Structure 1
Amino acid sequence: MSESLQDIARRLVVPQKGILAADESSGTIKKRFDTIGLPSTEENRRNYREMLFGATKAMHDHISGVILFDETIRQNAKDGTPLVKMIEDAGSLPGIKVDMGAIPMVGFPGETITEGLDGLGKRLAEYRRLGARFAKWRAAIAISKVLPTSGCVYANAHALARYAALCQSEDIVPIVEPEVLMDGKEATHDIERCHAVTEEVLRVVFEELVRMRVDLTAMILKPNMVVPGKDSGQVVGADEIAERTVAVFHASVPTVVPGIAFLSGGQGDEEATANLSAINRIKGLPWKITFSYGRALQAAALKAWDGKDANVEAGRAAFLHRAEMNGLATLGEWSEAKEKVAA
Structure 2
Amino acid sequence: MDGVHHRLRRLFSFGRGILALDTGPAELAARFRAEALMPAARADYLAMLLGTPGLSEHVSGVVLTPDVLEEQPGPAGLMVGVRADSGHERLTDDDRHRVTSGLDGLAARLTRSRDLGVGFAVWSTVAGPAGDPRGMHVLTANGHAAARFAVLCHDLGLVPVIRVGTRITGDDRGWRSATVAAALLSVCGHLHDLDVDVSGVVICIEVGSATEPLTVLPDDLGGVALIGETAGVEPQWPPSPPWPLTFYIGRQATRPALQAWRSSGSVGAGRDALLGCLATAACGPRAVSGARR
Q: What TM-score do the two structures reach when normalised by structure 2?
A: 0.91
- In structure 1, C-alpha distance between the alignment counterparts of 2:136 and 2:84, rounded to whole Å: 25
Check 1:95–1:12 CA distance in 2 against 1; reply closer, same or farther (3 A cut): same
Structure 1 residue aligned with 2:32: 33
Deviation at 1:180, TM superposition (A): 4.3
- In structure 2, C-alpha distance between the alignment counterparts of 1:30 and 1:3, rounded to whole Å: 40
Unmatched 5+ stretches in structure 1: 76-81, 228-240, 334-343
Deviation at 1:109, TM superposition (A): 4.4
Deviation at 1:3, TM superposition (A): 6.7
- In structure 2, C-alpha distance between the alignment counterparts of 1:48 and 1:74, rounded to whole Å: 17
Supply the AA of the counterpart residue of 1:23.
Answer: D
Structure 2 residue aligned with 1:197: 179
Contact 2:126 2:139 in 1 (8 A): no
Q: Does 1:316 align with 2:281?
A: no
Contact 1:175 1:219 in 2 (8 A): yes
Deviation at 1:196, TM superposition (A): 1.3
Cα RMSD (Å): 2.1
Q: Render the CA deviation track for 1:182-218: whole Å, top value 9, x for unaligned.
A: 533xxxx322111211111111110101111222111
Structure 2 residue aligned with 1:176: 162
Check 1:286–1:146 CA distance in 2 against 1; reply closer, same or farther (3 A cut): same
Moved over 6 A (4+): none
Deviation at 1:264, TM superposition (A): 3.6
Structure 2 residue aligned with 1:222: 204
Give the stretch that moved more between structures: 323-332 or 17-26. 323-332
Structure 1 residue aligned with 2:291: none
Q: Render the CA deviation track for 1:254-305: whole Å, top value 9, x for unaligned.
A: 111121112444x122x12xx2xx31xx432112222211100111111111
- In structure 2, C-alpha distance between the alignment counterparts of 1:214 and 1:156, rounded to whole Å: 16
Deviation at 1:332, TM superposition (A): 3.8
- In structure 1, C-alpha distance between the alignment counterparts of 2:179 and 2:8, rounded to whole Å: 27
Q: Render the CA deviation track for 1:69-125: whole Å, top value 9, x for unaligned.
A: 1121022xxxxxx332xx2x1x21000001111111135640101111111111111
Residue of structure 1 aligned with 2:53, choices 53, 56, 63: 56
Supply the AA of the counterpart residue of 1:194.
Answer: R
Structure 2 residue aligned with 1:298: 254
Supply the AA of the counterpart residue of 1:39.
Answer: M
Contact 1:255 1:287 in 2 (8 A): yes
Deviation at 1:170, TM superposition (A): 1.2
For residues 35-184 of structure 1, the aligned pairs below 5 Å read 35-41=34-40, 44-57=41-54, 59-75=55-71, 82-84=72-74, 87=75, 89=76, 91-107=77-93, 109-147=95-133, 149-184=135-170
- In structure 2, C-alpha distance between the alignment counterparts of 1:15 and 1:198, rounded to whole Å: 28
Match of 1:95, SS? Answer: strand
Check 1:307–1:125 CA distance in 2 against 1; reply closer, same or farther (3 A cut): farther
Residue of structure 2 aligned with 1:257, choices 212, 218, 221: 221
Structure 2 residue aligned with 1:339: none
Give the stretch that moved more between structures: 62-71 or 175-184. 175-184
Q: Render the CA deviation track for 1:218-243: whole Å, top value 9, x for unaligned.
A: 12101120x5xxxxxxxxxxxxx2xx
Supply the AA of the counterpart residue of 1:305.
Answer: W
Q: Does 1:287 align with 2:287?
A: no
Q: What TM-score do the two structures reach when normalised by structure 1?
A: 0.79
Check 1:182–1:208 CA distance in 2 against 1; reply closer, same or farther (3 A cut): closer
Deviation at 1:126, TM superposition (A): 0.4
Contact 1:51 1:312 in 2 (8 A): yes
- In structure 2, C-alpha distance between the alignment counterparts of 1:152 and 1:107, rounded to whole Å: 13
Check 1:144–1:255 CA distance in 2 against 1; reply closer, same or farther (3 A cut): closer
Q: Does 1:16 align with 2:15?
A: yes
Task: Work out the percentage of aligned pairs sharing the same amino acid.
Answer: 27
Check 1:15–1:190 CA distance in 2 against 1; reply closer, same or farther (3 A cut): farther
- In structure 1, C-alpha distance between the alignment counterparts of 2:84 and 2:177, rounded to whole Å: 28
- In structure 2, C-alpha distance between the alignment counterparts of 1:5 and 1:119, rounded to whole Å: 22
Supply the AA of the counterpart residue of 1:139.
Answer: T
Contact 2:120 2:159 in 1 (8 A): yes
